[in-house]
Amino acid sequence: MRKTIIIANKVRYVATLSCVITFIIVINVIFFGFPRVIQAHCPLCVAGAAAGITLTRWVGVDDSITGIWIGALLGASAFWLLRYLGQKNKIFFNRFVGFFIYLTIFVVTLWSFYRFNLIIRMDNIFGLDKLTFGMILGSAVFYLVDIGNIFIKRKNGKSLFPYQSMAFSLGSVTLASIGVYILINYYI
C-alpha cells in the first residue's frame, strides 16, 4: 500500500514538473523564439536543456544534479529577460538591477516549487533539500561564470574563441554536476 502511494506521488510529481517546464519553454519560445538581435544564450540550447531536465527525473538522476541544470536554465532565462527589458529601458543593463531580476526569477521559481509540492523532502545536503541545493549551486555558478566571461571579454577586447559564452556556461554547469555527483556518491 505504502509503495503504491510513493509511486503515485512520484508519477504526480513528474507530471507536474513536466507541465511547469513545458510552460517555461512555451513562454520562452513566445518571447524569444525569433530574436532580432544576438541573445545571451541560444534559445534552442536552453529549450533542449529544459527537455533534458524533464528526462532526468524519468531516468532517476539525483535531484541535486537536476537542480544545477534548473538553476542554469533560470539564469539563461533571466539573461534573456534582461536583454529584452534592456531594449525598452537602459536601466536594465545596470549590474545591480540585473542581479535583482536574476534573484527574483530564482526566488519566484523556488517558491512555486515549494508551493505546488514539486520538491520532495527526502534527503538533504547541508540542510537543504537536494533540488533546492542544486538550484542554488547552479544559479550561483552560472551567474559567477557570466561575470568572469564579461571580465575576460573586457580585458581582451573580444572573445577568446567563438561561442566562448556558451562553452564557459556549459562547461561550468557540467563541472558542477560532476562535482556534486562525486560529493554525493563518495562523501555524503
Q: Is the pLDDT of residue 188 over 80?
A: no
- The predicted model gives 106-117 an average pLDDT of 80
8-17, 84-93, 155-164: which has the highest mean pLDDT? 155-164
What residues does 125 pair with on adjacent strands?
128
For 121, the grid coordinates are 523532502
Q: Is the pLDDT of residue 87 over 50?
A: yes
- pTM to 2 decimal places: 0.69
CA distance 148 to 142: 10
CA-based end-to-end distance of the chain: 30
pLDDT tens digits, 20-56: 676 677 666 666 655 554 444 556 665 665 676 667 7
Which residue matches cell numbers 533540488?
131
**What is residue 107's predicted lDDT score, i.e. its pLDDT?**
87
**What is residue 127's predicted lDDT score, i.e. its pLDDT?**
83
- The better pLDDT of the pair 152, 54 is held by 152
- The predicted model gives 143-165 an average pLDDT of 87
Query: Pairing state of beta strands 124-125 and 128-129?
Result: antiparallel
Long-range CB contacts (within 8 A, 24+) of 40-46: 40/76, 40/79, 40/80, 40/82, 40/83, 40/165, 41/76, 41/79, 41/80, 41/165, 41/166, 41/169, 42/166, 43/80, 45/166, 46/73, 46/76, 46/77
